[in-house]
Amino acid sequence: MPPVTAPGSAPVRSPDEELVARLLEVIGGDAPLSDALEILSPDVVSHMDGFTVHGTDVWFDWLEFIGSRARGELRVDVDRIVTQPDGRISAFGWLRTADGRTRQPNQATYRVEGGRINEVWTTRGNYAMIFGAKVRFRLTWLLVLLEMAVWRRLPWTRRARSSATQRS
């Protein structure tokens, strides 16, 4: 069902759609990273083209990893958020650098239960502006994921992950 809008106003969203919008604000740097702790289920399941991972630690690491590989700060522009007939919520928009010079369409789908995002579906194509041609083939994408696995074990990324996920 499309969002209800009055002329000149923002769409009226369901609480679950608002939750997805809040997560996109975190991803785009418009809300504190720590907000994701309240938005995501601790055992969130993330799917990407046949690869599946569990937990917020991996989610936080992925966000920091793509940020470390991007040319400039990343921003998210949301065009629309749509609740599908099965209850999953799809968000459509753009991933761009903060300076606006690089921009690409982006789409992800979320499952919300109990007031938290429990599952995320994305594709490697959403990250083409960051990783270039590596997103085209499964084998080269596997190399990106291997690079992330090594990156996660570097001592300075552990400190970054700890500070980003600690509550004060």
Give the model confidence (pLDDT) of 27-73 as tens digits. 999 999 999 999 999 999 999 998 999 999 999 999 989 988 887 78
Position 44 in a domain: yes
SS (H, E, C) the chain: CCCECCCCCCCECCHHHHHHHHHHHHHCCCCCHHHHHHHEEEEEEEEECCEEEECHHHHHHHHHHHHHHCCCCEEEEEEEEEECCCCCEEEEEEEEECCCCCEEEEEEEEEEECCEEEEEEECHHHHHHHHHHHHCCHHHHHHHHHHHHHHHCCHHHHHHHHHHHCCC
Choice among 15-24, 57-66, 129-138, 153-162 with the minimum mean pLDDT = 153-162
Measured in degrees and rounded to the nearest 5, phi and psi for residue 46 equal -115, 125
Alpha-carbon torsion (3, 14, 88, 64), positive or negative: positive
Position 93 in a domain: yes
Position 3 in a domain: no
Position 70 in a domain: yes
Position 129 in a domain: yes
pTM: 0.84
Position 37 in a domain: yes
Q: Count of domains in the chain?
A: 1
Position 8 in a domain: no
Give the model confidence (pLDDT) of 95-145 as tens digits. 988 777 788 899 999 999 999 999 999 999 999 999 999 999 999 999 999
Range of 138's domain? 15-165
Query: What pLDDT score does 10 carry?
Result: 66
CATH of the domain at 149: 3.10.450.50
